[in-house]
Amino acid sequence: MAPGKDASLSLAPVPHRDAEKAGFLRAHGFGAAVREPLSGDASTRAYERLRLPTGASLIFMDQPPALESAPCPPDATPAERTAAGYNALARLAAGRVDAFIATAGWLRAQGLSAPAVLASDAARGLAVLEDLGDDLFARLIEAGQAEAPLYDDAVAALARMHAVSPPDVLAYDGAVWPLLTYDETALATAERLFVEWLPRLKPEIALGPDAVAEWEAIWGPIRARGAAGASVFCHRDYHAENLIWLPDRQGAARVGLLDFQDALRAHPVWDLSMLLHDARRDVSADLETHALERYFRLRPEADRAQMLADYHALGALNIVRIIGIFARLVTRDGKPRYASFLPRLWGYLDRCLADPALADLKAWLDRHIPAEARA
């Protein structure tokens, strides 16, 4: 599951979807494929593996357009985004297949391993993709593969993304999608999830208007730094469940990329936080330090001191965002398993809060979030 992808969902059924999918596959020459459902996530997408008569395999993406609220128009005001819903506020792509196609094309043009798109119908939310396999970084590490070399390559792929200034519009094979900025409105939407949803999960938390106002004041300068530093392509869900090991390829291309359709222009530390503050697996402090050192070796032009300060501050914002999303998944959507990830996230947050520059944030949390609510 990719944190942040739980947008406001429509409960309306999608009529005749199975027939529509079968017709799409027949029209594109895949009608004889054996279809195997793959496990899903917290989003509205579904995937199947297509087993072709030749023995090859492909991936079938199904994103019913009616199940998501609208994405953000490039010129929408904050008020218009609020009216449009969560996807527009957070600048999520609403699962749009044209966003996936255009973003995949840009990534592949940088020499990175996004899946090739073999057939698509963006209006109907269907696509057939290259199958990059099942060797997710997370599964390989669970099976005993050394994690540091995998993270070295993950950081190398990030450095490749950060080495070029991305365009304002991504375009590939007829698909066109704006690369919007992770702006202050989107960042505010992110941190407000925490104060909105964690008290619903933890009744011992009581946040009055003064506490919420102080919370907003603390984040204001951090949001401004995040928006001002938004200069690189940001995958947005860059973590071990979305990276596939491709050892037969070379360099940064050994990292297969998934779930990148919500990409934005953002501060370079955002994807580093996604990778190293992984909600689903423990990333040790030593591995975190190793990966950050790797990044600075690959990007020697980066201002190390400033980037570390921003990594702690924006990393903290990212972590409270995910805590808020998981609290929402448990309380609103009835998915209790996400509660089990919260202690790990609190541990990552403690690492960020060791930075003296975040003393005000630490003090606020110590006053308002009791220890028992962090379990």
Q: State the Rg of the chain over Cα.
A: 20
pLDDT, averaged in runs of 10, over the chain (375 residues): 35 64 95 88 79 96 82 95 95 92 97 97 94 97 97 98 96 94 98 98 96 98 98 97 96 96 97 98 98 98 97 98 97 96 98 98 97 90
Buried b / exposed e over 107-138, threshold 16 CB at 10 Å, is: bbebebbbbebebbebebbbbbbbbbeebbbb
Among the residues of the chain, which ranges form H helices?
17-27, 78-84, 86-90, 97-109, 137-142, 147-162, 184-201, 209-228, 269-276, 285-298, 304-331, 342-353, 359-368
Token reading at 367: 């006053």
- Output the CA–CA distances (angstroms, integers) from residue 331 to 8, 37, 201, 202, 339, in the order listed: 14, 28, 6, 10, 10
Token reading at 21: 């999918």
User: Looking at the DSSP assignment, which residues form a beta bridge with residue 257?
Assistant: 243
Report how far apart the first and last C-alpha atoms of the chain are (Å, whole number): 21
DSSP letters, 135-201, are -BHHHHHHTT--HHHHHHHHHHHHHHHHTSPPPSEEEETTEEEE--B--HHHHHHHHHHHHHHHHHH
Largest CA distance in the chain: 65
What is the sign of the dihedral through the CA atoms of 142, 148, 149 and 151? positive
Degrees to nearest 5, angle at CA 47 with 41 and 53? 155
Q: Is residue 281 helix, strand or coil?
A: coil
Tokens 């690492």 locate to 351
pLDDT, position 272: 98
pLDDT, position 68: 76
Q: How far apart are CA 190 and CA 325, in angstroms?
A: 9
Q: How far apart are CA 244 and CA 1, in angstroms?
A: 14
- Output the CA–CA distances (angstroms, integers) from residue 106 to 37, 51, 90, 119, in the order listed: 28, 28, 22, 17
Q: How far apart are CA 220 and CA 30, in angstroms?
A: 51
Q: How far apart are CA 122 and CA 100, in angstroms?
A: 9
Token reading at 128: 């057939």
Contact (CB, 8 A) for 265 and 166: yes
256 φ, ψ to 5°?
Answer: -75, 135
Q: How far apart are CA 74 and CA 71, in angstroms?
A: 9
The conformational region for residue 173 under phi > 0 = left, psi -120 to 50 = alpha, else beta, is: left
